[in-house]
Structure 1
Amino acid sequence: MIQIRHALRRASLLTKTPVTSARSGREQPKAFISTGPQQQDGTFYEFRTYRIHPHLNAAFLKLTNDKIHLRTAHSELLGYWSVEYGGINQVFHIWKYDSYAQRAAVRAALAQDPSWMEEYISKAMPMLSSQDNEVTYLVPWSTITKPPKEGGVYELVSFLMKPGGPAVWGAAFQGAVGAHAASGYAHQVGVFHSEFGLLNRVHVLWWHESADHRAAVRHTAHSDPRVVAAVRQSVSYLESQENKLLFPCAYSPLK
């Protein structure tokens, strides 16, 4: 038992650093909770995924096309897509907020907006089978970068990483993403990490000229030694991944 207590004490000391107590003048232990780079501002991005009843998919898309201006009057829409591969009868959209207080104010204002509630919400909600949302931040080394032109397709690749945060897998993950982007295999729109929702998840939003172009460059990337080496380093931290091919809607700011 004495050996166990000593082992536990040594382990606890590894996660603590001394700070000085203002009252006693003696150093007191303080645990570090964070394991990675901290968000430098309050801006975050809400990912929303709606699943639509199959027979109502076309009606939902038309309704949203006609009424989305009622929603964008309240806050900024980054992009709105229909899911072509990786999820049937789904739409995916990203909303930008400066703070949680702003988001709360927007949601409150929407609830009091009769046009939004009567012309859209009352009609759209029965068309949906489920809704999911996730709060994400841009990783410190990423910015939102628009594609060089309109008319392409988007790919959302979602990685579930092993627990530990960016301090554990951040450098390897950045290397893998950077190897694809630097080699010109795809245009990197943004890289996001989850804050609320499934944790230890990172999303990379790519743009491709077309679905066929994406297939061709992916084949080439698999034989590129730079990409292969970078992926080998990052894959040891990976639990699972999934991707979706997205077609931008006409009203999406990112097209």
Structure 2
Amino acid sequence: MLKFRSSALRPAAVLLSPAAAPAAAAAAQPRVRLSTGPQQEHRTFYEFRTYCVRPDQNAAFLKLTNEKIHLRTAHSELIGYWSVEYGGLNKVFHIWKYDSYSQRAAVRAALSQDPVWLSEYISRAIPMLTSQDNEVVYLLPWSQLQRPPQEGGVYELVSFQMRPGGPAVWGNAFQAAVSAHDAPGYGKLMGAFHSEFGVLNRVHALWWFESADQRAEVRHKAHTDARVVAAVRNSVLHLDSQDNKLMFPCPFSPLK
């Protein structure tokens, strides 16, 4: 919610000179404070992790992770694990759920002392990677984490870099644009998230489609849907950039 602050009224007996009047009038105008909006009500957050894999090790990395992921999920909840097909080659993207920052700290500490995890996975996986990146995100207040209507589809992660100001400035327009696409005949929204650590003023929409071809058909349909076009037009006024990735769920991914 935008907050406003007005200057205190001067006593009626005080007269302003003509030169001072414009400045005083400007000072009396409401001032918009940039804010991230309401405080986060839920402690639960999600960690987005993106790993870049050496091209010659991609298949080996996925095979190793498939065999050993149970060592990691014994410590905390895995939401989904995907291989990026379009929008970045030789990358994997995964989402982990935590109830609090102290829980995550405890999980990381336990993993660092887990000899089986270290010897059977970490020591073998790290040489296969070229980089790792993470981001802490929360579900937007109006979004819930969903499951796909069926298995066997594809996922799209769309990331939007919004202009500074936070949800208080662009939240309603963004919600309207995403909701316009989350309708019968379009994709299925799995969750909408905003960043807390990482690049700020970033929001993500995770979508599910029956197939890559169905996703292409939906895109063409959206371009001629006046309802969708109007909602998107209002949202892009607050947008600096965006990118997307089409991803295939791994066999061990809870979301698939």
Superposition TM-score, scaled by structure 2 size:
0.88
Query: What are the residue-to-residue correspondences of 1:196-207 with 2, within 5 Å?
Result: 196-207=197-208
Could you report, residue by residue, the CA deviation over 1:157-176 in whole angstroms, capped at 9, with x for unpaired residues?
00000100111111111000
Distance in 2 (alpha carbons) for counterparts of 1:148 and 1:196: 31
Cα shift at 1:182? 2.2
Structure 1 window deviating more from structure 2 (213-222 vs 100-109): it is 213-222
Matched residues, number: 235
Measured in 2, the distance between the counterparts of 1:72 and 1:35 equals: 33
1:49-88 matches, within 5 Å, as: 49-88=50-89
Q: 1:33, 1:231 → 2: CA distance?
A: 23
Amino acid at match of 2:123: S
> Any conservation in 2 of the 1:37–1:140 contact (CA below 8 Å)?
no
Query: What is the SS of the residue equivalent to 2:135?
Result: strand
Summarize the Cα distance change of 1:12–1:183 in structure 2 as closer, same or farther, 3 Å threshold. Answer: same
Aligned partners of 2:35 and 2:168 also within 8 Å: no
Which residue in 1 is equivalent to 2:27?
Answer: 10
Cα offset for 1:36? 1.0
User: Which residue in the other structure is 1:115 paired with?
Assistant: 116
Shift of 1:35: 3.2
Aligned equivalents of 1:11, 1:74: Cα separation in 2: 56
**Secondary structure, counterpart of 1:71 in structure 2:** helix
Q: Give the unaligned 5+ runs of structure 2.
A: 1-18
Structure 1: which 4+ aligned runs deviate by more than 2 Å? 9-15, 32-35
Partner SS for 2:182: helix
Q: Hey, what does 2:228 align to over in structure 1? A: 227
The 2-side partners of 1:60 and 1:12 are apart by 59
How many Å separate the matches in 1 of 2:185 and 2:102? 39
Shift of 1:54: 0.4
SS at structure 2 position matched to 1:83 = strand
Greater C-alpha Rg = 2
CA 11–133 in structure 1, closer or farther in 2 if over 3 Å, else same: farther
Question: What's the % identity of the aligned pairs?
Answer: 72
Q: TM-score, normalised by structure 1?
A: 0.88
